[in-house]
Amino acid sequence: MSLQPKPHLSPEDYLALERSADFKSEYFDGEIFAMTGASEPHNLIVVNAGAELRQQIKKRPCKLYANDMRVKVSPTGLYTYPDLIVVCGKAQFDDAQFDTLLNPTLIIEVLSDSTEAYDRGRKFEHYRKLESLAEYVLVAQHRPHVESYRRQPGQQWLLTESTGLESVFRLDSIECELALAEIYDKVEFSNTND
């Protein structure tokens, strides 16, 4: 049995396919990676965090995008769909389709069992190459826990954590605060460890 080589797609080929596809896929280095659906807790957390952020940035020069806005990490060539994105200032797009954002200020990813290692590792490695990115936030799905990585002078990243439903988390990059009780509203936790 011979293995067929995977076709190597250009970014233009990927975008043409993606824009007509019924499902979302990430793209890197000529390959497409299908994205899986999200669980109920994942969806609730994204909606809750988005609602809280929207209220706080409503009268400010920042825009909030949900998980259907594609981000291109131009220095590495990764195309991906973060759970939540905030852009402060003028949003920059890859082309006239206005569906591939280039300059996120804040990216929030809700951790899934299948993507946690990637979100913490290789994906964050890509995101760190975005000059506009000031803060990267990881939200646990199975317990009330949030981690923020904030860009510091000299390209260092500072980790801040908040744990427990009584905690309030500060997003310095956009001058907002998120109460974990609000982020995790209606999310039911099992007794398993995260």
Structure tokens, 98: 């206005």
* pTM, two decimal places: 0.91
Task: Spell out the CATH class of 36-183.
Answer: alpha beta
CA distance 1 to 106: 47
Rounded to the nearest 10°, the torsion over CA 140, 83, 20, 28 is: -70
Classified as helix, coil or strand, 169 is strand
Closest to 50 in 3D by CA, of 158, 178, 144: 178
Tens of each residue's pLDDT in the chain, 194 residues: 455 556 788 999 999 988 998 888 899 999 888 887 788 999 999 999 999 999 999 999 999 999 889 999 999 999 999 999 999 999 999 999 999 999 999 999 999 988 899 999 999 999 999 999 999 999 999 999 999 999 998 879 999 999 999 999 999 999 999 999 999 999 998 765 54
Report which of 191, 187, 194, 188 is spatially closest to residue 46, judged by C-alpha positions.
Answer: 187
Q: Which DSSP category does 4 fall into?
A: P
**Domain ranges within the chain, ordered by starting residue:** 36-183
69 within 8 A of 99, measured Cβ to Cβ: yes
Q: Measured over all CA atoms, what is the biggest interatomic distance in the chain, rounded to whole angstroms?
A: 61
- Residue 179 φ then ψ, to 5°: -80, 130
Give the per-residue pLDDT at 4: 57
